[in-house]
C-alpha cells in the first residue's frame, strides 16, 4: 500500500510535468547562488489568511464602522416579517416565486395576493445587510487593493521584468525570489484564500460563483506559478489586476455614503482603468507574452499549459464583467445616476428589481 501511494505521489510530481525538459526538482533546491521559490512556503498563506480575516473584523468594528456612522450611513435593520411556516418554506424554496405560486399561497392562507407579496417583500428585506455593513465590507477591500497596488509598484519598480516582460523568461527557471516579492506573493495569496472563505459569509452577490471561480483560479495560478518558479509573471498579473479594483470599491463606498457625484466620478475612472488594464494591457502585454513570446524563449512543459489556460480563463471572466459594466453604465446614463453595484449586487436586490 505504501509503495502504491509513493508511486502515485512520484507520478504526480514528475518533473517532466512540472518543469522544463532536463530540469529536476533537485536543480531547484534553494542554495547560496539562487533563492528558488520553495513549495513548502505555500503553507504560510493559510495562517496569514486567518490573520487577515481577524484584522478585517477589527478594522470593520473599530475603524470603518465609526467612519461610516460619522458619514450618516444607516445601520438600521428593516421591519421583520411575521413568522409564517408556509410562506417561509416557499421563500426558502429554489427559484423565484412566480405569480401562480403567490395565488396558490394566498388561497391556502386565506390572504389576499397583496398580503402575500408584502410578506415576501419584507422577508427579502430582512435578509439584506444594512448599508453600514456593506460599507465596511467594501472599505476593507478598498484598503487591501490600495495597499497591495502601492506595495506592488514599490516592489517591482526596480525589477527588470516590469520594464521588459521578456525578463520573465530569460534564464528561466534559474531565477531568485527576492524578499519583497516573497511578501507580495504570500500576502496576496493569503488575501484570496480569505476571500474564498469569507465569501460564504459576506453579502450574497449576483455573481457568487463567478467570483468563487475567480478566487480559486487565482489561488491555483499563484500556487502553480510558485511551484514552477514562474513568480515573475505572477507579480505582473497581480499588479495589473489590483489597480482597477481600487476605484470600483471607492465608487461603492461613495454610493453607500450617498455621495452620488463622487460615486459617478469614481465609476467613470474605474471603467476607463478597467478596460485599459483588463482588456488592453492584460491580453496584449501579459497573455501575448505567455502565449507567443514565452514558447520562443523557454522549452514548454505540461504545467505551463495549465498555467496559461488559467490566465486565459481570467481573461474570459474579464469580458463577462465588462459586459456587466457597460450595461450598468448605460442604464445609469438613462437614470441620471449610478444604480446598483457592479460585481457586487445582492441577489435579493435583483429579485426585488425583477418583481417591480
Counting as low any pLDDT under 50, the low residues of the chain are 343-356
The confidence score (pLDDT) of residue 5 equals 66
The confidence score (pLDDT) of residue 345 equals 44
Q: 173: closest CA among 301, 320, 6?
A: 301
Residue 120 is placed in which grid cell?
A: 415576501
Asked if residues 232 and 167 have their Cβ atoms less than 8 Å apart, the reply is yes
Other CB atoms within 10 A of residue 177 CB: 19
> Is-cis flag, bond preceding 124, omega within 30?
no
The confidence score (pLDDT) of residue 99 equals 80
The confidence score (pLDDT) of residue 36 equals 92
The confidence score (pLDDT) of residue 352 equals 36
Domain boundaries, the chain: 30-71+130-342, 85-127
The confidence score (pLDDT) of residue 171 equals 92
The confidence score (pLDDT) of residue 212 equals 77
As a dihedral over the C-alpha atoms of residue 20, residue 22, residue 27, residue 28, rounded to 10 degrees, the angle is: 10
The confidence score (pLDDT) of residue 86 equals 81
The confidence score (pLDDT) of residue 166 equals 97
Q: 202: closest CA among 256, 250, 133?
A: 133
What whole-number distance in Å separates Cα of residue 101 and Cα of residue 119? 14
Asked if residues 116 and 337 have their Cβ atoms less than 8 Å apart, the reply is no
DSSP single-letter state for residue 282: I
Q: Three-state SS across the chain?
A: CHHHHHHHHHHHCCHHHHCCCCCCHHHHCCCCCCCCCCHHHHHCHHHHHHHHHHHHHHHHHHHHHHHHHHCCCCCCCCCCCCCCHHHHHHHHCCCCCCHHHHHHHHHHHCCCHHHHHHHHHHHHHHHCCCHHHHHHHHHHHHHHHHHHHHHHHHHHCCCHHHHCHHHHCCCCCCCCCCHHHHHHHHHHHHHHHHHHHHCCCCCCECCHHHHHHHHHHHHHHHHHHHHCCCHHHHHHHHHHHHHHHHHHHHHHHHHHCCCHHHHHHHHHHHHHHHHHHHHHHHHHHHHHHHHHHHHHHCCCCHHHHHHHHHHHHHHHHHHHHHHHHHHHHHHHHHHCCCCCCCCCCEHHHHHHHHHC
Please give the CATH number for the structural domain made up of 85-127: 1.10.10
pLDDT tens digits for range 190-212: 999 998 888 777 766 666 676 77
Sign of the C-alpha dihedral computed for residues 13, 16, 19 and 22 taken in this order = positive
The confidence score (pLDDT) of residue 347 equals 37
Amino acid at each position: 500500500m505504501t509503495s502504491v501511494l509513493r508511486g502515485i505521489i512520484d507520478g504526480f510530481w514528475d518533473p517532466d510535468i512540472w518543469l522544463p525538459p532536463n530540469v529536476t526538482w533537485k536543480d531547484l533546491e534553494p542554495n547560496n547562488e539562487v533563492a528558488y521559490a520553495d513549495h513548502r512556503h505555500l503553507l504560510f498563506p493559510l495562517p496569514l489568511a486567518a490573520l487577515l480575516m481577524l484584522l478585517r473584523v477589527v478594522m470593520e468594528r473599530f475603524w470603518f464602522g465609526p467612519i461610516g456612522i460619522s458619514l450618516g450611513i444607516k445601520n438600521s435593520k428593516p421591519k421583520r416579517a411575521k413568522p409564517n411556516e408556509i410562506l417561509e418554506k416557499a421563500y426558502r424554496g429554489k427559484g423565484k416565486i412566480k405569480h401562480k405560486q403567490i395565488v396558490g399561497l394566498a388561497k391556502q392562507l386565506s390572504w389576499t395576493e397583496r398580503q402575500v407579496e408584502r410578506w415576501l417583500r419584507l422577508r427579502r428585506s430582512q435578509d439584506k445587510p444594512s448599508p453600514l455593513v456593506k460599507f465596511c465590507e467594501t472599505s476593507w477591500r478598498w484598503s487591501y487593493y490600495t495597499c497591495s497596488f502601492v506595495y506592488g509598484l514599490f516592489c517591482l519598480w526596480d525589477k527588470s521584468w516590469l520594464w521588459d516582460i521578456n525578463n520573465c523568461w530569460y534564464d528561466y527557471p534559474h531565477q531568485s525570489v527576492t524578499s519583497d516579492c516573497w511578501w507580495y506573493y504570500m500576502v496576496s495569496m493569503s488575501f484570496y484564500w480569505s476571500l474564498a472563505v469569507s465569501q460564504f459569509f459576506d453579502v450574497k452577490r449576483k455573481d457568487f460563483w463567478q467570483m468563487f471561480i475567480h478566487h480559486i483560479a487565482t489561488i491555483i495560478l499563484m500556487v502553480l506559478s510558485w511551484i514552477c518558479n514562474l513568480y515573475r509573471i505572477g507579480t505582473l498579473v497581480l499588479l495589473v489586476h489590483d489597480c482597477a479594483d481600487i476605484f470600483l470599491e471607492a465608487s461603492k463606498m461613495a454610493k453607500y455614503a450617498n455621495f452620488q457625484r463622487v460615486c459617478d466620478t469614481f465609476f467613470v475612472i474605474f471603467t476607463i482603468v478597467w478596460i485599459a488594464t483588463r482588456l488592453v494591457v492584460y491580453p496584449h502585454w501579459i497573455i501575448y507574452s505567455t502565449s507567443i513570446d514565452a514558447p520562443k524563449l523557454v522549452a514548454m512543459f505540461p504545467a505551463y499549459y495549465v498555467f496559461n489556460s488559467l490566465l486565459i480563463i481570467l481573461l474570459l471572466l474579464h469580458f463577462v464583467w465588462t459586459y456587466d459594466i457597460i450595461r450598468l453604465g448605460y442604464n445609469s446614463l438613462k437614470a441620471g445616476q449610478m444604480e446598483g453595484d457592479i460585481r457586487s449586487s445582492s441577489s435579493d436586490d435583483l429579485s426585488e428589481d425583477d418583481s417591480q
